[in-house]
C-alpha cells in the first residue's frame, strides 16, 4: 500500500534554510569568477552575432515596423460579464467589425449572462493580448495560432468552415501575383532580381505560404529579390502597390482578390497569377498548397464552462444562418488537424521551430587566439575555485539532497499511480465501446440474414419452376435460368458473410476447409468488377502455373481479398494516367501461398505504413480504421502475415502469405473446398 509523504518539521526547514544560505554565500564567490568568463565570451561573440543580427534586421526591421502599426481603436476597460474575442484584422479593423460583429451579437444573445465584444488585432498585438490575458478567445491564422499555442498554451475549440462554394473543404491558400501586362514575369523563377511585397514576415497567408513555394522553386526571397517590402494590414495595400507599379509582385491570402473585384475596386483581368493551381472544388485563384482554415481558440484563463457554451453555439450554426451569411462563411466545425501548418513552420524554421544562429568555434580561435588563451587561464582558475566550493556545498547540503530525493520519489510514485488509474479508465471505456459495437453488429447481422434467406429461397424456387416449364431449354429460358442461379448463389454468399460476422462477434470457430486461392480470388474480383468498370479501373490477375490451395475459412479469405482490392481501387481513383490494379499469386521458398495486390494510386508514406494496421487508424476522410486491422487478424490466425510496401513504379503493394495446404497438418478435420 502506498504511503503518503510525512510532514516536514519546522526545525528541519530552518536547518535546510541555513544550509541554503551557506551554499548561496559560497556560490556567490564562485559566480563572480564565472561571470567574468561569461562576460568575456559575450564580448567575444558579439561581433559575429551582431553580423548575423544585421542580416535578420534587414528584413525583420521592416516587418516589425509594418506589423506594429496601432490603427485599431483602444480596448475599453473590462466590465463584469464581458467576454472579448480577439480577431486578426488582415483587411483592417473596419472589415473585422463588418464580418465578425454579427457573431459577437449572436453569442451575446445565446449566452445572455455574458456580453461578447470584438477586438481587432495586428500580428504583433496578438501575442501581447494573449500574454496579458486581455482577451478570452482568439481567432487568427493557423501559423500565428501554432506560435501562440506553443508559447502560451492556447487551445483550439473549433475551425472556421469555408463558404459553401469551397467544396474541397475548410482550407485556404495564398496567391503570388503580378500585373497582367508584365511580359517579363510569367513564372515564379522570373521574380529573381525583382521587388516583392508581402504583409509581414510573420504573416501566414500574407507571406509564409508564398515563402515555402519560393523555396520549392529554388528561390531565397531574402537574397534573390532586389527588394522585399512589408505593408502590414490590410492586405489590400499589397494589391494596390502591385497594380500601381510600386512593386513588381506580391502575395495575399486566397479570396482577397475576388473580394476586391466584387467591391469594384479592381479588375481581375489586370492580374496575372504565378504558378496558378486548379484544385477541384476550390473556387479562388491559388498559387500554393492548401492549409486548414482559421482556428477559434480559448486562452488558458478562460473557464472550461464558458468555452463549452461558446463551442456549442458555434457548432450549432448552420451554413444558411444569417450570422454565417453576413460573415461570408458556412459556420464552424470541429478543430481540424493542423499538421500541414506545423510542417510548413518546421521547413521554414519559423517559431516555434526557429533554429538559433550557429557560430564556428574554429573561426573564433583563429581570429581571437590571444583572448581565447586569456579565457582559458580564467577558466582554470574558476574551475579550481569551483571544485573547492562544490566540495563545501556538497558536504553541507547532503541532508537536504536526501530529503529532496525522498520527496521526489514520493511524488513520482503518486504520478505513476495516477497514470495507471487513468490508463485503466481509458481501457474500460474502450472495452465498453467495442462491446456496444459487437452487440449492434450481431443484431444487424440477424436482421439482414432474414431477407437474404428469403431472396435465396425465392431464387431457388424460380430455378425449379423454370426447369419444369416446357421450352426451358431454349436460349432465352437458359439465360433466365443462369441469371436466377447466380442470384441464388450471390444471396447464399451474402448470407454466409453475415453468418461469419455473427460467428466472429460470438467468437465461434471458423469453418476450416481447403480453399482454392485462385477460385477465391476470381470470386472476389467478380464482385468488385462492375465498380471497377464504372471507374475505368483495369484489374489484372497473374496466376502461377501451379494451383494454390490453403486451409482456411473461405468467407474470411474473401473478406480479406475484398478489403485489400477495395482499398486499392480507392487509391487508384487519384491516378492521373491509366488506373490499373495487378493481383499476383505465387509460392515462396517456405511453401507459402503469397497474394500481392499492386495499385498505381497515391502510395503510402513511412508514417502511414507504420500505423496502417492499427485499429481505428485511417487515412480516409470517412474511414473507420478497422478493415486492415481485421484483415491482419484473420491472416495471422492462419499462421500467415500481412504487410504493405511502396511500389517502385508509384502506388502501393499490399501482400499476405498463408501456408499452403500441402505443408501443414490441420488440427481439426477440414471440409473439401
Instruction: Write down the pLDDT at residue 48.
Output: 44
Model confidence at 13, in pLDDT bands (50, 70, 90)? very low
- In which region does residue 117 sit, left (phi positive, over 0), alpha (psi from -120 to 50) or beta (all else)? beta
- In which region does residue 601 sit, left (phi positive, over 0), alpha (psi from -120 to 50) or beta (all else)? beta
pLDDT at 159 over 70: yes
Mean pLDDT for 35-42 is 54
Mean pLDDT for 449-458 is 76
- The residue that leads in pLDDT, 323 or 45, is 323
Instruction: Write down the pLDDT at residue 509.
Output: 60
- Please state, in angstroms and rounded to a whole number, the distance separating the CA atoms of residues 180 and 568: 44
Mean pLDDT for 333-352 is 87
Secondary structure element (H or E) that encloses residue 137, with its range: strand 137-139
Lowest mean pLDDT among 63-72, 237-246, 468-477: 63-72
DSSP 656: E
pLDDT at 55 over 50: no
Q: What Cα–Cα distance (Å) separates residue 569 from each residue in 392, 531, 565, 580, 617?
A: 74, 9, 6, 9, 19
Q: Confirm or reject CATH 1.10.287.130 for domain 408-502, answering yes or no.
A: yes
Mean pLDDT for 119-146 is 90
Model confidence at 505, in pLDDT bands (50, 70, 90)? low
Instruction: Write down the pLDDT at residue 5.
Output: 44
Q: What Cα–Cα distance (Å) separates residue 606 from each residue in 104, 502, 547, 609, 611?
A: 44, 35, 35, 5, 9
Share of the chain above pLDDT 70, in %: 77
Classify residue 496 by burial, with Cβ atoms within 10 Å: 0-12, 13-18, 19+.
middle
Entry field: residues in the chain: 673
Model confidence at 4, in pLDDT bands (50, 70, 90)? very low
Model confidence at 601, in pLDDT bands (50, 70, 90)? confident
- Please state, in angstroms and rounded to a whole number, the distance separating the CA atoms of residues 258 and 284: 7
- Please state, in angstroms and rounded to a whole number, the distance separating the CA atoms of residues 352 and 475: 75
Q: Confirm or reject CATH 1.10.10.10 for domain 174-289, answering yes or no.
A: no
Mean pLDDT for 42-68 is 43
Q: State the cell numbers at 293.
A: 482554415
Residues 215, 220, 226, 229, CA torsion sign: positive
pLDDT at 432 over 60: yes
Instruction: Write down the pLDDT at residue 227.
Output: 93
Q: Are strands 195-198 and 249-253 parallel, antiparallel or unpaired?
A: parallel
Pick the CATH number of 511-663 from 3.30.70.260, 3.30.565.10, 3.40.50.300, 1.10.3720.10: 3.30.565.10
- The residue that leads in pLDDT, 271 or 65, is 271
CB 530 within 8 A of CB 496: no
pTM of the model: 0.42
Nearest to 85 by CA among 60, 68, 67, 107: 107
Instruction: Write down the pLDDT at residue 106.
Output: 93
Model confidence at 550, in pLDDT bands (50, 70, 90)? confident
pLDDT at 673 over 70: no
Nearest to 241 by CA among 206, 216, 215, 213: 206
Lowest mean pLDDT among 193-202, 233-242, 520-529, 610-619: 610-619
Model confidence at 668, in pLDDT bands (50, 70, 90)? very low
Give the strand order in the sheet containing 332-333. 115-121, 82-88, 137-139, 295-298, 155-160, 332-333
- Please state, in angstroms and rounded to a whole number, the distance separating the CA atoms of residues 476 and 349: 73
- The residue that leads in pLDDT, 451 or 55, is 451
Q: What is the pLDDT of residues 378-428, one digit of tens each?
A: 888 888 887 888 787 788 778 787 888 888 888 988 888 888 877 777 766
Instruction: Tell me the pLDDT of the chain averaged across its residues.
Output: 79
Q: State the cell numbers at 418.
A: 495516477
Instruction: Write down the pLDDT at residue 219.
Output: 92
What burial letters (b/e) apply to 533-569, b meaning 16+ CB within 10 Å? eeeebebeeeeeeeebbbbbbbbbbbbbbbbbbebbb
The angle subtended at Cα 447 by Cα 445 and Cα 450, nearest 5°, is: 105
Mean pLDDT for 321-340 is 88
Q: Hey, where are the domains in the chain? A: 10-67+360-396, 82-167+293-348, 174-289, 408-502, 511-663
Residues 257, 259, 261, 266, CA torsion sign: negative
Q: What is the pLDDT of residues 85-120, one digit of tens each?
A: 999 987 788 888 999 999 999 999 999 999 999 999
- Please state, in angstroms and rounded to a whole number, the distance separating the CA atoms of residues 515 and 671: 9
Instruction: Write down the pLDDT at residue 67.
Output: 46
Instruction: Write down the pLDDT at residue 54.
Output: 38
Give the strand order in the sheet containing 249-253. 227-230, 195-198, 249-253, 174-179, 271-273
Judge if 82-167+293-348 and 511-663 fold alike in CATH terms: no
Q: State the cell numbers at 212.
A: 515555402
Looking at the domain 82-167+293-348, which fold is it? D-Maltodextrin-Binding Protein; domain 2 (3.40.190)
Instruction: Write down the pLDDT at residue 64.
Output: 42
- Please state, in angstroms and rounded to a whole number, the distance separating the CA atoms of residues 108 and 106: 5
Amino acid at each position: 500500500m502506498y504511503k503518503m509523504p510525512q510532514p516536514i518539521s519546522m526545525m528541519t526547514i530552518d536547518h535546510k534554510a541555513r544550509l541554503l544560505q551557506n551554499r548561496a554565500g559560497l556560490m556567490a564567490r564562485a559566480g563572480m569568477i564565472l561571470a567574468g568568463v561569461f562576460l568575456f565570451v559575450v564580448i567575444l561573440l558579439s561581433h559575429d552575432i551582431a553580423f548575423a543580427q544585421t542580416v535578420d534586421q534587414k528584413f525583420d526591421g521592416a516587418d516589425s515596423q509594418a506589423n506594429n502599426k496601432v490603427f485599431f481603436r483602444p480596448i475599453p476597460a473590462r466590465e463584469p460579464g464581458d467576454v472579448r474575442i480577439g480577431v486578426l484584422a488582415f483587411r483592417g479593423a473596419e472589415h473585422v467589425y463588418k464580418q465578425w460583429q454579427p457573431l459577437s451579437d449572436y453569442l451575446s444573445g445565446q449566452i445572455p449572462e455574458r456580453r461578447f465584444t470584438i477586438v481587432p488585432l495586428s500580428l504583433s498585438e496578438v501575442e501581447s493580448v494573449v500574454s496579458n490575458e486581455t482577451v478570452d478567445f482568439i481567432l487568427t491564422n493557423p501559423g500565428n495560432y501554432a506560435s501562440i499555442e506553443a508559447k502560451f498554451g492556447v487551445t483550439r475549440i473549433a475551425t472556421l468552415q469555408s463558404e459553401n462554394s469551397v467544396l474541397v473543404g475548410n482550407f485556404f491558400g495564398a496567391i503570388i501575383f503580378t500585373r497582367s501586362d508584365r511580359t517579363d514575369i510569367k513564372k515564379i523563377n522570373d521574380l529573381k532580381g525583382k521587388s516583392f511585397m508581402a504583409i509581414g514576415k510573420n504573416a501566414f497567408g500574407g507571406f509564409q505560404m508564398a515563402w515555402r513555394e519560393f523555396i520549392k522553386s529554388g528561390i531565397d526571397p531574402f537574397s534573390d529579390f532586389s527588394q522585399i517590402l512589408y505593408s502590414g494590414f490590410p492586405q489590400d495595400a499589397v494589391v494596390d502597390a502591385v497594380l500601381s507599379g510600386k512593386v513588381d509582385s506580391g502575395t495575399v491570402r486566397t479570396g482577397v482578390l475576388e473580394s476586391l473585384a466584387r467591391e469594384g475596386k479592381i479588375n481581375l483581368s489586370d492580374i496575372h497569377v504565378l504558378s496558378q493551381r486548379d484544385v477541384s472544388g476550390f473556387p479562388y485563384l491559388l498559387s500554393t498548397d492548401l492549409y486548414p482554415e482559421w482556428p477559434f481558440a480559448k486562452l488558458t484563463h478562460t473557464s472550461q464552462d464558458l468555452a463549452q457554451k461558446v463551442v456549442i453555439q458555434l457548432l450549432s450554426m448552420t451554413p444558411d444562418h444569417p450570422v454565417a451569411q453576413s460573415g461570408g462563411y458556412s459556420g464552424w466545425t470541429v478543430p481540424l488537424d493542423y499538421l500541414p501548418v506545423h510542417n510548413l513552420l518546421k521547413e521554414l524554421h519559423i517559431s516555434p521551430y526557429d533554429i538559433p544562429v550557429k557560430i564556428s568555434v574554429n573561426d573564433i580561435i583563429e581570429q581571437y587566439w590571444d583572448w581565447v588563451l586569456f579565457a582559458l587561464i580564467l577558466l582554470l582558475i574558476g574551475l579550481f575555485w569551483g571544485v573547492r566550493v562544490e566540495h563545501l556545498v556538497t558536504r553541507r547540503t547532503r541532508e537536504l539532497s536526501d530529503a529532496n530525493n525522498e520527496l521526489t520519489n514520493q511524488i513520482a510514485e503518486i504520478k505513476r499511480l495516477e497514470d495507471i488509474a487513468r490508463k485503466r479508465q481509458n481501457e474500460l471505456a474502450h472495452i465498453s465501446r467495442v462491446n456496444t459495437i459487437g452487440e449492434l453488429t450481431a443484431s444487424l447481422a440477424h436482421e439482414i440474414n432474414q431477407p437474404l434467406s428469403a431472396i435465396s429461397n425465392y431464387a431457388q424456387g424460380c430455378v425449379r419452376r423454370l426447369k419444369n416449364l416446357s421450352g426451358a431449354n431454349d436460349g432465352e429460358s437458359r439465360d433466365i435460368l443462369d441469371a436466377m442461379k447466380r442470384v441464388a448463389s450471390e444471396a447464399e454468399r451474402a448470407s454466409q458473410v453475415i453468418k461469419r460476422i455473427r460467428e466472429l462477434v460470438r467468437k465461434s470457430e471458423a469453418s476450416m476447409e481447403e480453399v482454392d486461392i485462385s477460385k477465391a480470388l476470381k470470386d472476389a474480383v467478380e464482385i468488385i468488377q462492375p465498380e471497377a468498370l464504372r471507374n475505368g479501373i483495369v484489374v489484372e490477375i497473374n496466376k502461377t502455373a501451379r494451383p494454390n490451395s490453403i486451409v482456411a475459412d473461405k468467407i474470411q479469405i474473401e473478406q480479406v481479398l475484398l478489403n485489400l482490392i477495395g482499398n486499392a481501387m480507392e487509391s487508384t481513383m487519384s491516378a492521373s494516367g491509366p488506373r490499373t490494379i495487378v493481383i499476383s499469386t505465387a509460392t515462396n521458398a517456405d511453401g507459402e501461398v503469397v497474394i500481392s495486390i499492386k495499385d498505381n494510386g497515391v502510395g503510402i508514406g513511412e508514417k502511414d505504413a507504420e500505423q496502417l494496421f492499427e485499429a481505428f487508424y485511417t487515412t480516409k476522410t470517412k474511414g473507420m480504421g478497422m478493415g486492415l486491422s481485421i484483415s491482419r487478424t484473420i491472416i495471422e490466425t492462419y499462421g500467415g502475415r500481412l504487410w504493405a510496401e511502396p511500389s517502385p513504379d508509384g502506388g502501393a503493394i499490399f501482400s499476405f502469405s498463408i501456408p499452403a495446404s500441402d505443408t501443414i497438418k490441420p488440427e481439426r478435420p477440414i471440409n473439401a473446398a
